[in-house]
Chains A and B, each alone.
Chain A
Amino acid sequence: MRLLVMKRIACAALLLLAALTTTGCWNRIELNEVAITSATGIDWDGENWIVSYQVVIPAAISSVTGGSGGGGPKSPIIVYSTKGKTIRDAIMHSFSESPRKLFFAHNRVVVIGEKAMNRGINELIDVYFRNSGSRETVSVLATPGTARKILEQFMQLQAISGAGMKEIIISEMKNTSILPNIPVYQLAMELTGDAKSAVVPEIFVSGSGDTSSLDSFSNTSIPSKLKLGRLAVLKDDKMIGWMSRKESLGAAYLRDSVQQSFIVVPCEGGEGKKGYDTIQILKSSTKIIPKLRGSKLTFTADVDVSGTLLESNCAQDLYKPGVIQGLEQGGQVQISSLLQDAWKKGQQMNTDIFGAAEKVHRKYPKQWKEWGKNWDEVFKEAPLETKIKFRMARMGLSNKSFQYLMDKREK
């Protein structure tokens, strides 16, 4: 009996030990042995990959005085680069210059330089999907210069600019939706989709000079800032051009990625004065419906938006339904033109970033066999019709515009 119990315990212990080997690697590492990477930069110098790392210096960030004495302000981050034939090769070279092992699990953004974007980024996606250390939710950003330059910039309010960049793109997407947040997995999905096209938001240094020194923060204004800009358009993993912010917003509507946005609608201020109404888009949903007219493929974008009036400087009496209808019509025209511009730009660049290919593939699987071979040609010829349902949900707290009240008093 006792022997049996002992045997059982030995068995259980053995199984536990066996399970050890299945975990793959011995990954015990203390917190002060890792270099927490907050942002990675990828550049291409024509022959080699240059990978830059923005590494967090915890002691400099935390208010806790963990032993290290005072002194002047210390940089909370440090940036360095390594070079290699492949991306992983470059990363491996980091071991010869960093006292700590690079730790990518908390990496927030990967910034890709323009040269690398032009060359193609298949390798990068492969690195992300093959290794467990880095997450596929990392946001991808493109920059017209070198990625390293972006990583070196300090940011206001956020000590770690890598995390800051992620926060900017997330908040931008939530509030204005001009540029989408593109995580690595989404980029990979779009590039392997039917259209083989994708978009990546741009980040650039605006202003003169750079803010790579903490000294800049002794002034109330800093010489330069990291800023989101245009939208990089990719085809077959290579960048083929930029879309302006306006076109980018149109693309966002077409891609149905608008969460919250705004439009500025011109209005008649009466007595020939020109004014503008600012409308916040609270809800938006878009359906792209392909249609076959004869043998010609056409698309209809069915957009359903509702908004609230944020600002009005026309003399309007918003009690009148007609005025509201006017606003709605203005919004429809605006959005329609946004969509058309974006669509045309896409056709011009010969790339379908709107996901139209998938829609066609699903609706006309038979014809797709033919079209799929030269989708670009088909897409180029396909016109877009817009059907926009614009609903003004709220007018804000005051109904009559202030301008209207002023005008009335004058009379």
Chain B
Amino acid sequence: MPNDDKTTKQYENEAPKKETKPEQVLIPDLDINIERLHRFLGGGADIVCRTLQHRSFDNARYALLYIDGIVDGIGLNTMLLGLLDDANRYIEGGVESSLYHHLTERVIANGKLGEVNSINKACYAMLEGSTILVVDGSLRAIIIDTTGGKSRAVEEPSSQTVVRGPKEGFTENLRTNTSLIRRIIKSPDLRFDYKMIGHQTRTNIAIVYLEGIAEVEVIKEVHRRLDAIDIDGVLESGYIEEFIQDRAFTPFPLLQNTERPDAACAGILEGQVIIMVSGTPFVLQAPVTFVKFFQSSEDYYQRYDIATFLRIIRMTSFFISMLLPSLYIAITTFHQEMLPTSLLISLAAQREGIPFPALLEAFLMEITFEILREAGVRMPRIIGPAISIVGALVLGQAAVQAGIISAAMVIVVSFTAIASFVIPAVNMGVAARLIRFLLMILAGTFGLFGIMSGLMILLAHMCGLRSFGKPYLMPFAPFVASNLKDVLIRVPWWAMRTRPTNIASDKNITRAGAGQKPSPDQEGV
């Protein structure tokens, strides 16, 4: 499969998904070709056409066409210089073949060249950032890869920060992103399969995996699902995610995303397939399991003991963020006998004079918090401090003093909010947020019984989820004992001897050699 012609084809040459314009071929007349190319692209001001004349031959004319701004200016100038400087006599004979070959073989100092014979393909190549060289009298045009232009530099990722670990992040440029991966995994088995999705945006997509480690079935499935996508534009990997996830209706994310090359590479090494989308720093990882969302890349850079502790904290936070308000509602309105007396009295004291039932109170505060959070994300940075004052003082303290909301509820809501930020994967945090509201309603109507039935439905739902055919709750259901080494605990690296089975290909599972546990009485030391 990976060596299949179709998948290893360079994306620049691939035909667009839905060809709407009639195919036009190049003809030997240079001026008509230029005219047609211009017309095909609508003749914008950014389309540059430079007609050149060979220094030695009057009838040897050719033209360079490119779109300004998306080409590498320096590379283009060097090439232009080479063309203008070209005083060599090319071999006498038929003009068509020899000038063309002369240019491609001796003159153009560029690494990547291609050729086309149709106007359409030439134009699509220009839209990718290539420069087209049309030779007078030739039926073919040369495509010179001059992709470039302004793009963001490699910066520290903003969404997944670490204290210890690489500070590089993916950018919007696909080529930069693939290079970041290449620099980390220098294996000849690393495969990049390219695709183009979107009739209008013609977005380049790279599928990255390690051959022999990623499961062949999964790679095939990724290809199949990506090939099936039929859409006009892809602006972010989120578009792709919703098309290729295994089930449409679920609050849980079925694909992981990351902004960090090291995290992506860790996934590749575990047998995941990475889907990179041009134009976004967020790459998709598949297949995933539920527990993957609680692993931070820092877990693997810090010592295993603290990593284990932090992982348990994260799991706990997930449940707090999902359950705390509903537990508070259920216990204070249905099961008061469960509380220690002194706690009950202090809660009752706070509830004195509160006009709303606990459920409504919790809803009010949760909605308030969600609005505050959304406001914090949307508003201009400069107004930031203002919103925190409004949030903390006006809505928190003043609401308690006015006797509208009990102080305990403010504590519950703020603790829930803080807990929700602990989950490393934002999309899993979102799932907890949505489920929280559902459970609150259940808690307010049925008490703990409601919460339990809600959780049971949730569990049944999760048991049915798959990510590219892999059970979502693995290694718990189905139970895979050997995969537990990186779930609740993170074992030291010398003990992490195998890749997670059932994700990676079963044939190549060994990750580290045996007997590497450091001990003071080693021989020869």
Contact = CB atoms under 8 A, between A and B. Distances in A.
A59 B352 CA distance: 7
Interface stretch (A22-30, A172-180, A292-300): A22-30
A68 B352 CA distance: 9
Nearest to A106: B341
Interface string A104-119: 0110100000000000
A58 B333 contact: no
Interface in B401-422: 403, 406-407
A62 B337 contact: no
B357 A64 contact: no
A170 B391 CA distance: 47
Contact of B352 (A27, A38, A67): A67
Nearest to B450: A16
Contacts of B347: 31
User: A20, A34, A56, A67: which has the most chain B beta carbons within 10 Å?
Assistant: A67
A36 interface: yes
A62 B446 contact: no
B344 interface: yes
A4 interface: no
Given A16-B453, A68-B353, A31 B341 contact: no
Interface in B306-364: 332-334, 336-337, 341, 344-354, 357-358
B301 interface: no
A223 B347 CA distance: 33
Nearest to B346: A62
Contact of B446 (A20, A38, A66, A160): A20
A66 B449 contact: no
Given A20-B446, A59-B352, A36 B453 contact: no
Interface string A3-23: 000000000100010011001
A30 B345 contact: no
Given A28-B447, A31-B332, A58-B352, A108 B345 contact: no
Contacts of A20: 446
Given A38-B341, A58-B345, A108-B341, A32 B353 contact: yes
B345 A56 contact: yes
A191 B352 CA distance: 42
Nearest to A103: B336
B457 interface: yes
A100 to B, nearest CB: 10
Interface in B242-300: none
A23 B447 CA distance: 11
B345 A12 contact: no
B440 to A, nearest CB: 14
Contacts of A66: 349-353, 403, 406
A30 B344 contact: no
B362 to A, nearest CB: 12
A182 to B, nearest CB: 20
Interface string A201-221: 000000000000000000000
A61 B352 contact: no
A163 interface: yes
Interface in A38-71: 38, 56, 58-59, 61-62, 64, 66-68
Interface residues of A, number: 30
Interface string B441-458: 000111101000100010
User: B346, B348, B357, B445: which has the most chain A beta carbons within 10 Å?
Assistant: B348
Given A30-B351, A58-B352, A163 B346 contact: no
Interface string A348-384: 0000000000000000000000000000000000000
B341 A23 contact: no
A303 B159 CA distance: 70
Contact of A58 (B349, B354, B449): B349
Interface in B84-99: none
Nearest to B446: A20
A106 B406 CA distance: 22
Contacts of B358: 30-31
A61 B342 CA distance: 10
Contacts of A59: 349, 352
B333 A30 contact: yes
Contacts of A61: 345-346, 349
Contacts of A38: 341
A16 B453 CA distance: 8
A106 B344 contact: yes
Given A19-B449, A23-B449, A66-B350, A28 B334 contact: yes
Interface in A77-118: 103, 105-106, 108
Contacts of A163: 341
A96 to B, nearest CB: 23
A27 B345 contact: no
A23 B448 CA distance: 11
A129 B506 CA distance: 60
Nearest to B340: A106
A246 to B, nearest CB: 34
A30 B353 contact: no
B351 A31 contact: yes
A27 B347 CA distance: 19
Contacts of A27: 334, 447
Nearest to A108: B341
B350 A34 contact: no
B349 A62 contact: yes
B333 A31 contact: yes
Contacts of A160: 345
A36 B348 contact: yes
A32 B348 contact: yes
Contacts of B351: 30-32, 58, 66
Interface string B492-522: 0000000000000000000000000000000
A56 B332 CA distance: 17
Interface in A97-147: 103, 105-106, 108, 135
A158 to B, nearest CB: 11
A64 B333 contact: no
Given A23-B449, A59-B349, A66-B352, A34 B336 contact: yes
A51 B351 CA distance: 28
Contact of B345 (A19, A28, A29, A36): A36
B348 A34 contact: yes
B446 A106 contact: no
B349 to A, nearest CB: 3
A231 B485 CA distance: 60
A31 B407 contact: no
A31 to B, nearest CB: 4
User: B347, B349, B354, B447: which has the most chain A beta carbons within 10 Å?
Assistant: B349
5 shortest interchain CB distances as A-B pairs:
A105-B337, A62-B349, A58-B349, A58-B348, A67-B403
Given A30-B351, A58-B349, A67-B352, 19 more contacts: A19-B453, A20-B446, A27-B334, A28-B447, A29-B333, A29-B336, A30-B333, A30-B357, A31-B344, A31-B351, A36-B345, A58-B346, A58-B351, A61-B345, A64-B346, A66-B351, A66-B406, A106-B336, A135-B337
17 contacts: A19-B453, A29-B336, A31-B344, A31-B347, A58-B345, A58-B346, A58-B351, A61-B349, A64-B349, A66-B351, A67-B353, A68-B352, A68-B353, A105-B337, A106-B341, A106-B344, A108-B341
